Structure 1
């Protein structure tokens, strides 16, 4: 279940409704899908074949199509990051730069954990959204953010896009941001 840590105050927000309410005020969509729908062999598997990825997409087909229909997403895929991912440290350095997008950045975590660091409104500042299996987040177009992994360094996520070419980051300079 997702948690939110507000960086300015250290406040920790827990519980699905509390997290959803906080994120909604920051215009971030949060949902929860049932991760136990996946076959057990895929629930904590970070070495997926093309067939495994297709099975994950098929398992969550109803949820994916519902979200896509409501939000205008046209394409989706699976991303897997773990210590066995080639050049994982270089990839993480790329992800860990604050940036924006010209479309929402959407992730539905099916295994493992990840963290979105997002700049909220002026009263909130930056906050961390710690995600685990079942958590779904849509960071709105134009929001300053980045994604990283927890210390476990492994995640499987469904990514949804509006533009068929997928994820395009636009670097953002913020001298007030501290990692």
Structure 2
């Protein structure tokens, strides 16, 4: 279950209903998938082959098709990040810059964990959405944000795209942002 930390106040928001209610204020979609239906060899496996990635997508075919019908996605993939990922530091440095997209950024955590840092309104400021296996989040287009790994530094996630070439990041310069 996701947990939110408001950076300005260190307030913690937990519980599916509370998280969903808070995120809906910012038009962020939060849902949950049953990752327990994954075959054992795919759970907590952070060095997936292309065949294993396809198996993950096949396992969640019904959930993906539901999102396609509701939101118009045209392509999807599985991303794996861990210490075994070549150029992990370079990739994280690129991820950890505030940006926007012209389409929503949707991700479902399959294994591991990750954090979206999202800009809220002026009163709330930035908040962290800490995601664990099964958590789905969709950050709306033109919303300032970035994604990073937790201290465990490993994640497997399903991503869905409207644009077939994936998301294009548009840098968002915000002098008020402070890393935590």
TM-score, scaled to structure 1: 0.99
How big is the shift at 1:26?
Answer: 1.3
How big is the shift at 1:123?
Answer: 2.1
Deviations 1:118-141 (A, max 9, x none): 001122110000001000000000
How big is the shift at 1:71?
Answer: 1.0
Partner in structure 2 of residue 94 of structure 1: 94
Partner in structure 1 of residue 58 of structure 2: 58
Partner in structure 2 of residue 68 of structure 1: 68
TM-score, scaled to structure 2: 0.98
Partner in structure 2 of residue 46 of structure 1: 46
How big is the shift at 1:40?
Answer: 1.2
Aligned length: 179
Distance 1:111 1:129 in 2: 16
Gap runs ≥5 in structure 1: none
Partner in structure 1 of residue 129 of structure 2: 129
Gap runs ≥5 in structure 2: none
Correspondence 1:6-155 to 2 at 5 A: 6-155=6-155
1:167 paired to 2:167: yes
**Off by >4 Å, runs of 4+ in structure 1:** none
Deviations 1:80-133 (A, max 9, x none): 000000010010000000000010001011000000000011221100000010
Partner in structure 2 of residue 157 of structure 1: 157
Partner in structure 2 of residue 3 of structure 1: 3
Deviations 1:33-64 (A, max 9, x none): 00101011111000101110000000001111
CA RMSD of superposed structures (Å) = 0.6
Distance 1:27 1:122 in 2: 16
SS of the aligned residue for 2:173 comes to coil
SS of the aligned residue for 1:80 comes to strand
